[in-house]
Chains A and B, each alone.
Chain A
């Protein structure tokens, strides 16, 4: 069942590559059809997914190179399922938003499908080496897409992207090898290596290695410098996938392999991780304020907003982890929306400079629908209630505040700063009088608008009905989450009060909470690792 997410896109790559010349024009439609099948299949998977089960579901296993410890093991849980669905949806959006007259269409659409399959493989892999293979595989198509269809400095941006993320892969591989060798299991099977008795010091070393590796991908400050360059030079579909899906590989890896494999070390390092989150949020926000390129503003906004995921991961309470997953989805959709809109603005005006653009909300000769959607995207990003950004950030803050009150409050400043830089952007680009230089823009077709309209609908829909986004993660958030009563603000204020398990999500229906309750970790006085083992 899960293999289809990997192999159908790969077969699509093969099929499109072998298309005769006369059929080259159909490669876009073929890619869209295959991606539609993937989306429908992911929705079917969602319908079959058991909400109460925190363990991996729909597992598939095949031995591959046993001597290396490499096996083909796939599985999905509440952490990977939303990301898997988002990967399909955003790939479809990216394909649809691509230029119909793009050069070398066979290669382009093959690479997008390859990217989709590799990312799906990474989300589904339950073998560390298999994850690494897919993690590295996705670099190739993205590097080529930026290098071939990118902007003027595409060579520089693509190479920088490749160097950074390849280093990220090597560092992650080193941590995986270290874990496998030091734990004496000799295995790369996730279920086997997570049961280890490594010393805390060793765990910390391995965790720091992993955090650097995934930190480059997320990216965290100061390992972020590849991202704005890559975004600025990448074509719109690549920016959508990069911000919407690929950055999530970093946070997914951090939660799955960092928190999942080294919970004791995580607890020790979590204040530092929270500090990094604060730095990322504030640096990303202030840097965004200083930019004049619309795409760079959205790119630095991404750096800031991924910081919320890191904060929630650092807190690692069941609620904050659910917030982290929600924030991954929220950021994926909102940044995809913003990049799509910036792409349309650039395609129609030939510039992204906020000091050149003006008055684009003009109802007759501007880009009024695009401008209105940009306002929606900015509101969502700034956490205005009724949109997915508010839900995700609220859960993140609510889940993190008891553990890291100061860091959470500082991150909240980032939400305010989001409003600052997006209001600057909207005010400069969309309000005012349309200058003569922009008074004869080419028409905006509905084809240009449909991708962003679809994403905007999702942004609002999930803001009004958040359970559709969060219900899948309740069980896994309970399972992965750490209870750290000694650090909660509530305990500071009422030291003697007995600490109850934090309700998973008050916004869920009573039935969902009841369903998820058996999967919640039993809290005892033992070590966190002990708790983790007792749950599973």
Chain B
């Protein structure tokens, strides 16, 4: 029999810590929550797939294009697509860029270390020179501002890294939906386990970035750089997008390159887990764009659940946001469990104590999030 070290009862989220210790999840387990989470993750998976394709397209095919007017067209520029773009009945790829910029803003430790390395400078320099060949104006710009184009390449690395992360996640979420349809997923802990397994499986997948210029391949982030899925994209993504995001545009201004972004998470609470679903678009990354995109791909079962509620279609995006936050707390649970310093069922008291300190650290970060509201939904 496993005896767990109990959390400090004075901790406001002690109940949730015990719940995770005993194999539960941050989100209460109920058939309604399972339907909501799986269905919303299915629509999210479809949207993420579109986002990751576009991020990858921009990284690979809009390399150092200073005015990428058609970057959201994925290489297919037609008049009908242009009309659709102007009509705005499309995937809001801007949201993907906001998330990428949030990651870029707050930084990813391993990725940033590489992007500041000499190796990156040389590889980026080679690609830049190849790209600027025969372009006098751009070469002049590069000489005048030698840090400008390498910084653009760093940004494109983030495009590529997030695209690769979302590629894995979108397939994982769509696979979850398929398993639910086959009756293999029935509880929230099973949802969490599916995500945790997916993260573990992809954990060591290398993050690389290469572009082709005039038929020649330029590796910007080679496999040898040692960047991997979990450590260099998943964790920074959760930190930047789930926890921090950035203040609403125009309210505050920081210079990220000058290191003005506070490392203290408490200075930011605009992330997906904190976002207030009611004043839509009120702070942080505008979540309305994502919710709007997901409205197009809602599974019928979830749509029917929404329609039975009081406002029907009127507050669809608020309902999607609430369901999405539920789903993100499942992803967070999977991340917490996946990153545990020791197995959750360890019998070693020291390891248990370290696990507890780890869990209390997470819960400290989540205290002001929507977590407590989720317990009653």
Chain A partners chain B: yes
Verify A434–B312 contact, CB threshold 8 A.
Answer: no
Complex interface: chain B residues within 8 A of A442 (CB): 310-311
Interface presence of A441 (CB below 8 A): yes
Verify A433–B278 contact, CB threshold 8 A.
Answer: yes
Interface presence of B314 (CB below 8 A): yes
Interface of A is mostly: loop
Complex interface: chain B residues within 8 A of A363 (CB): 280
Interface presence of B317 (CB below 8 A): yes
Verify A433–B310 contact, CB threshold 8 A.
Answer: no
Interface string of B265-289 (1 = CB under 8 A from A): 0000000000010111010000000
Identify which of residues 424-462 in chain A touch chain B, using a CB-to-CB cut-off of 8 Å.
Answer: 433-434, 439-444
Interface presence of B318 (CB below 8 A): yes
Q: In which size bucket is the chain A interface?
A: 10 to 19
Verify B311–A441 contact, CB threshold 8 A.
Answer: yes
Interface string of A355-374 (1 = CB under 8 A from B): 00001001111000000000
Complex interface: chain A residues within 8 A of B318 (CB): 364-365
A53 to B40, alpha carbons, bound, how many Å? 70
A365 to B319, alpha carbons, bound, how many Å? 10
Verify A441–B310 contact, CB threshold 8 A.
Answer: yes
Verify B279–A359 contact, CB threshold 8 A.
Answer: yes
Interface presence of B112 (CB below 8 A): no
- Closest CB of chain B to A475's CB: distance in Å? 50
Verify B314–A443 contact, CB threshold 8 A.
Answer: yes
A439 to B280, alpha carbons, bound, how many Å? 13
- Closest CB of chain B to A359's CB: distance in Å? 7
B282, B311, B312, B317: residue with the most chain A Cβ atoms closer than 10 Å: B311
Identify which of residues 301-343 in chain B touch chain A, using a CB-to-CB cut-off of 8 Å.
Answer: 310-312, 314-318
Interface string of A74-103 (1 = CB under 8 A from B): 000000000000000000000000000000
B278, B280, B314: residue with the most chain A Cβ atoms closer than 10 Å: B278
Verify A364–B280 contact, CB threshold 8 A.
Answer: yes
Residue from the list A362, A434, A440 in contact with B310, Cβ < 8 A:
A440
A443 to B310, alpha carbons, bound, how many Å? 7
Complex interface: chain B residues within 8 A of A443 (CB): 310-312, 314
Verify A365–B315 contact, CB threshold 8 A.
Answer: yes
A25 to B337, alpha carbons, bound, how many Å? 62
Verify B317–A364 contact, CB threshold 8 A.
Answer: yes
Verify A434–B278 contact, CB threshold 8 A.
Answer: yes
Interface string of A12-44 (1 = CB under 8 A from B): 000000000000000000000000000000000
Residue from the list B278, B312, B316 in contact with A362, Cβ < 8 A:
B278
Complex interface: chain A residues within 8 A of B310 (CB): 440-443
Complex interface: chain A residues within 8 A of B311 (CB): 364-365, 440-443
The 3 closest A-B pairs by CB, nearest first: A364-B315, A364-B318, A365-B315
Interface residue ranges, B against A (CB under 8 Å):
276, 278-280, 282, 310-312, 314-318
Ordered by A's residue number, 18 sampled pairs between the chains whose C-beta atoms are within 8 Å are A359-B279, A362-B278, A362-B280, A364-B278, A364-B280, A364-B316, A364-B318, A365-B315, A365-B318, A433-B279, A433-B282, A434-B279, A440-B310, A440-B311, A441-B310, A442-B311, A443-B310, A443-B311
